[in-house]
Structure formats: structure tokens, C-alpha cells
Structure 1
Amino acid sequence: MVSAEIQPLFAEGFEIAAHLMGLRRYDALVVLGTRVRLIRMEVGETVLAEAEAPLLASNPCDLKLEPRGHRRRAWVNGELLFDLTTTFSRGGGAAGFVVERGTLVSNELRVENLRTRDRQADLDLR
């Protein structure tokens, strides 16, 4: 899972990305003005889901992306916007920010290994 609280400063569009494997291979939660998209970059951009989020225009926002196996989930400001199953799965890679034009501010980019968390939860139940 990848998450960050972001304050856009004159940014036309920005993203948090997971499974980064170069500049054009990744999954991302994209904010473009008042629109939010869940995309997959692979050769070209594939929009997996899209929604309106009018409060995002210039306000700080908390983004969370969970690409897990074939499932993709994404939250904006604690609200689950997307929960879908895809025909593809990708593991490994890096995480990061992508900014089209402008600047954004964030204190941190949080990356959590869900397999480790799940294993720990299984151990706690025993």
C-alpha cells in the first residue's frame, strides 16, 4: 500500500504511484483538478476508473493506493473511491510521486508491505 498527504501548489496534475518499473510502467492514483483516476501505465495509459472529487482542486488531500494481486483499491481523504478486480497482476517495483507541472508538498510517502502485515495478523490470532 502506498499513501501520502499531499498539498498541491500550482500543480496541474499529480499522482502517487506503485509498482514503478521505469517512467512508463506503473499503477497510479491520479488527481487532475477535480477528477480522480485509477490508471495503469504500460506502453500507454489505461484508465481503470474515474470519479469526481470537487474538494481536491487546491486543498490538501490524503491519497492511498492499494494494488494487491489482481485487486486495485484507492481512497481519497479516507473515502474508498475505487475497488476493482483487473485481469493483470504486478509485483515489486518502487513507489513515488509523479507531478505533471507545478509543485506539490508532502511530509512523507508511506509504503506498507501488506504481506508482512497479513502474516503478523495471522500470528496474532494464534
Structure 2
Amino acid sequence: MAAHIGWVDDAQSILLCRIDNLRGPDAYVVLAGQIPLVMRRAGHRVDLILVLGPGAPLPRGALQEAAILLRILPPNFGICVAVGGHWLLTNRLSLWLAPRLLRRWRPLLAQRVRFAASPTQARDLILAERSRHPHP
């Protein structure tokens, strides 16, 4: 399984999950079990950057799986910023369209998910979101 989970900052408040080559829903299920565990250990607000590499196709029912994952995340979870590989979420049209589709089809999911073109932009988006809406 080519997934890597690690901290972006020294304060361990931004978790980076990079998925490079996961095939099948079972690999995503294993990963979905690891992310909440790491967040619970932190004990303070943790935001998630989810990077889908070029070889990481979205499984069938990806939005449904994401909605389930957001329901089981601990209370200290902040927001998730998705970053896509190749054409997925790396062009202006995709970045404009993705949040609108999410708000239309999964409104509860849209409250906790943002989109960015790169991990650096995702980190900046998280920091901007924190300054606007501090987590209790």
C-alpha cells in the first residue's frame, strides 16, 4: 500500500496523507482507520491534507466513503483539504467545479472539505481557515 501519513508542522496540527498507488476499496478502508487513530493521539485540533497522487484512482463511491470517514473522525478534527494529481483538482476549472458539486450533492461534507491545487496551497488554506474560524 503506497500511502504515507505524516505531520506537516512541528506542532502536529496538520496531518498530511499522501496516496500514491492504492488499488481497491480495501486499501482506503485501512487508511480510513489509521487517520482517526493518529488524530485522537494528538488531542488538539488536527486538519488533514489529503493528496491523491497520479496513480491513485478514486474508488467507486468515493464521496460516500469520505462522508463516512468524516462522521468517524474525532472531535478535534478541523477541515480536510483535498489535493489531486494529474488533471484532477490541479486546474482552475476543477478547483471551481469541485466545491460546487460537493455543495450540491453532499452539503454536510462540503462544510468540512476544501480543495487546493498543491500541498502548499492546502497548508495556506488551512492557516487562513484557522484565523477565520478558530476551533474550540
Task: Give the TM-score, by structure 2 length.
Answer: 0.28
Larger radius of gyration: 1
Bigger share in helix: 2
Which of structures 1 and 2 has the larger relative contact order (alpha carbons within 8 angstroms, sep 6+)?
Answer: 1
Bigger share in strand: 1
Task: Give the TM-score, by structure 1 length.
Answer: 0.29
